[in-house]
Structure 1
Amino acid sequence: MTPLKIGIAGLGTVGAGTARLLADNAALIATRAGRPITLTAVSARDKSRDRGIALTGITWHDDALALAADPNVDVVVELIGGSDGPAKALVEAAIAAGRPVVTANKALLAIHGTALAAAAEAAGLPLGFEAAVAGGIPVIKLLREGLAANRVSRVAGILNGTCNYILTTMREEGRDFPEVLADAQALGYAEADPAFDIEGVDAAHKLTILAALAFGQNVDFSAVHIEGIRNISALDISFAEELGYRIKLLGIAQQTPSGVSMRVHPAMVPVSKLLAAVEGVFNAVLMEGDFSGPVFCQGRGAGAGPTASAVVADLIDIARGSKIPVWGAAQAALAPSRPVAISALTGAYYLRLMVTDQPGVLADVTAILRDHGISLESMLQHGRSPGEAVPIVLVTHDTIEAAISAAISRIATLDCVLETPALIRIEPK
């Protein structure tokens, strides 16, 4: 059997994990792929670094672009990362050279996915990216193949393990965000510069990919509304528990009559829902098809093993000769993005105010809400501290986001309101 020869660019956690998986499970992989899959070439920044893998007999390229032209490489695996620079150049060069590509690069696909898919389609090449979303959870294959006969109405998920770990730890230990983030960095769950994770950008890249697959549209990262978890406090998490919710950073893409709503933000998830029980570094995705009904997947969203598993799954498909359109349909059949603004969202909201405990405060706040057509479902206030700062929590009935945003802008100007109000969207029960 003629082996499928692989070149890997990037030997970090995932690259080294992929090389290890190809070696450790070589016989199993060959059986399932119909032929051996062998690593023949690699490229990384530091040749002297010990990565715990044997590179004897494997060609080393200092320049990753050389993989695209190496005659001993059939498929290029891009694990460099980043939406531009060497990663983009390598993928473009590999496709131009007639070589299939497998990548774990969600940023690259979210920003340049339309152009790269068009190039791969024109060349008749597969472009695999199972590892780009949710690590070891086969969510790409499920959306693109398993649910191919369904009209998907909604995709919602916990798409960033760093944020989920932080929020879980804050709830379990009653600690605030800065302290837990520092611990996450010390444990290796968060990067030294965690901005992409905690500001929601990483989750938004992944949601962009899921939305394109779910709704048959071109990728449009610019259409995603993005909020992170930096402003979530232990106080909000405690109130959420009291109200029967857990706070999760969710990525949500939903088909509406006006188009597709795509948003990443913290949300109050009812404790009865499956997503509420997803803890620590785990990811989960819930998809809703018209014939399949809801489909729920949970697993590790990052790390050497889970992500390498997804990379090699794509390599096995390529070894078998599988050629599925990158976004589930030909480029010409994909719809243009029709984004729906966050201001049009309708739902319930959690509002926490830190106010001076004095007569008339609640009347002033509720008058503003009334002026904007917002009604309240419930209120929480614990104890009295006349003249001191106290929290008031208000839960609204369903209302439009534009209305609650306008109301909060007015509430924030009240003399009795001592800090920026906290607003968190509530998922339906």
Structure 2
Amino acid sequence: MHKPVIKVALLGLGTIGGGVYKVLNKNSEIIKQRINSKIEVAKVLEKNISRCLELGVNKDLIANNIDEIVNDQEIDIVIELMGGIEPAREFVLKALNNGKSVVTANKDMIALHGKELYAAAEDNNVDLLFEASVGGGIPIIRPLKQCLAANHIQEVMGIVNGTTNYMLEKMSNEGLDFDVVLKEAQDKGYAEANPSSDIEGFDAARKVAILASIAFNTRITVNEVYVEGISRITAEDISYASELHYVVKLLGIAKETEEGIEVRVHPVFIPKQHPLASVGDVFNAIFVRGDAVGDTMFYGRGAGELPTASAVVADVMDAARRLNNNVQGLISCTCFEDKPVKPIGKIFSKYYIRLQVADRPGVLASIAFEFGKHEVSLASVLQKHTLGDSAEIVLITHKVQEQNLRDSLEKLQLLDTVHEVSNVIRVEDEEEII
């Protein structure tokens, strides 16, 4: 049955919630024309009353608790924009179990509890939509689920955290140290006061878990994602990358192999000519490789009030159309397989290694010998700065199994001629990235 007015409730009126409220009001007429129904905000759950009034929300629309919303039979769609796990998960479950479709941008909740929430949506014949949980305003969830559904997806990878991308670009362009760039990112509002979720890769890991689950039809939890952040990247590493014709980026990588799914987040040396190398500022870019479509790239603002609101409101419109056409609940969970996750030690990659060693004859030979014992082949060796009796050496390996590299580095650190393994960063050649 067609509804001329579809009522929605907003949970959370922070940055994204405020953006959604603005878009729903500003573009109300075009939204109505496109879905043949008016979207009306009937309730708002937000503790900060002054924030509600600042956005022009009528006092009568402010709910005191979640029950006012989930028990309101006139509300069809609940938009969860509170963030965090609890009470967001509890509220979303209540909404789904009360027959309301849910739209959310909550990557943390979806990455950890997606299976439980999908089951509730299916049991109650309603929709759970979360386009904005990955990539902000970039369409990626719907393309994976629908537009590319005929493909066997082979790889999904890219830049999915704008904060770290901004920081690495600043370090590359201006030769600045990590701590200086982090403070600047915090001053500009790109990084939180506690930036660990971004700089240690956890934010990207949640997004990659969601993308991998959809792409490979198997449930990948965030705890299965191998994660390294950018806090160990130095100005020296950035400089060497440039000298070797690479750029450093924090990438989320998901690949299907015969041994299982690779799902990881870590810094990567990529060639300067690769399309990802030119993705700057807080922008995101996600590559998808399918067996039929080949290579596709999705690029845009991965965060922010209005870009994210764009994706949220699009999901609301989709849920409204489905309600009007009585086809709710048909977007089911696509995790119908149970593929294993490949341990990080089993992956193959090239590696950049920066060492501090004794500056005397025979040291390079002993290092090469130790690598050789563990089947690690060196593509290039550069001796860089010398300070006193210590020298800095930069190595690039051929493609090797990671566990072999780890074993060799463990033995190297026992040599009295090796003072420090300063950093190890994976290297991806253009043909290996997509």
**TM tier, shorter chain?**
over 0.9
Q: Which residue of 2 aligns with 1:373?
A: 375
What displacement does 1:283 show? 0.7
| Structural RMSD (CA) | 1.7
Q: How many residues are matched? A: 424
Cα offsets for 1:248-304 (capped at 9, x unmatched):
111111001122111111111111211111111011100000010000011000000
Counterpart of 2:11 (choices 9, 12, 31) is: 9
Deviates more, 1:309-318 or 1:358-367: 358-367
Amino acid at match of 1:367: F
Cα offsets for 1:48-104 (capped at 9, x unmatched):
236742102651123245322233421111111112x11001110001100000000
Q: Which residue of 1 aligns with 2:72?
A: 70
Distance 1:51 1:106 in 2: 28
3-state SS in 2 of match to 1:272: coil
Cα offsets for 1:222-260 (capped at 9, x unmatched):
221111111011110111111111111111110011221
Sequence identity of aligned pairs in percent?
42
Structure 1 residues 50 and 43: alpha-carbon distance in aligned structure 2, compared to 1, 3 A threshold:
closer
CA contact (8 A) 1:220 1:337 kept: no
Cα offsets for 1:295-327 (capped at 9, x unmatched):
001100000011000000101101111647556
Q: Which residue of 1 aligns with 2:276?
A: 275
CA contact (8 A) 1:358 1:386 kept: no
Cα offsets for 1:161-220 (capped at 9, x unmatched):
111111111111111111111111111000111111111111111001101111111232
Q: Which residue of 1 aligns with 2:314?
A: 313
Distance 1:162 1:65 in 2: 36
Amino acid at match of 2:11: A
Amino acid at match of 1:261: E
Q: Which residue of 1 aligns with 2:297?
A: 296
Q: Which residue of 1 aligns with 2:45?
A: 43
Structure 1 residues 403 and 325: alpha-carbon distance in aligned structure 2, compared to 1, 3 A threshold:
farther
Structure 1 residues 242 and 128: alpha-carbon distance in aligned structure 2, compared to 1, 3 A threshold:
same
What displacement does 1:3 show? 1.3
3-state SS in 1 of match to 2:209: helix
Distance 2:64 2:304 in 1: 25
Distance 2:66 2:304 in 1: 23
Deviates more, 1:418-427 or 1:232-241: 418-427
Unaligned runs of 5+ in 2: none
Distance 1:302 1:52 in 2: 22
Q: Which residue of 2 aligns with 1:356?
A: 358
Q: Which residue of 2 aligns with 1:187?
A: 188
Q: Which residue of 1 aligns with 2:214?
A: 213
Distance 1:49 1:13 in 2: 10
Structure 1 residues 92 and 50: alpha-carbon distance in aligned structure 2, compared to 1, 3 A threshold:
closer
Deviates more, 1:62-71 or 1:101-110: 62-71
1:145 aligns with 2:111: no
Aligned ranges for residues 100-179 of structure 1 at < 5 Å? Answer: 100-179=101-180
Deviates more, 1:199-208 or 1:389-398: 389-398
Amino acid at match of 1:223: E
Q: Which residue of 1 aligns with 2:88?
A: 87
Distance 1:323 1:288 in 2: 30
> What's the TM-score once normalised by structure 2's chain length?
0.94
Distance 1:427 1:65 in 2: 51
Cα offsets for 1:346-383 (capped at 9, x unmatched):
11111111223233221221111111111111122235
Structure 1 residues 249 and 65: alpha-carbon distance in aligned structure 2, compared to 1, 3 A threshold:
farther
What displacement does 1:39 show? 1.2
Distance 1:96 1:328 in 2: 17
Q: Which residue of 1 aligns with 2:205?
A: 204
> What's the TM-score once normalised by structure 1's chain length?
0.95
Structure 1 residues 80 and 65: alpha-carbon distance in aligned structure 2, compared to 1, 3 A threshold:
farther
Aligned ranges for residues 407-418 of structure 1 at < 5 Å? Answer: 407-418=408-419
Deviates more, 1:40-49 or 1:295-304: 40-49
Deviates more, 1:220-229 or 1:181-190: 220-229
CA contact (8 A) 2:375 2:404 kept: yes
Structure 1 residues 297 and 208: alpha-carbon distance in aligned structure 2, compared to 1, 3 A threshold:
same
Q: Which residue of 1 aligns with 2:58?
A: 56
CA contact (8 A) 2:126 2:329 kept: no
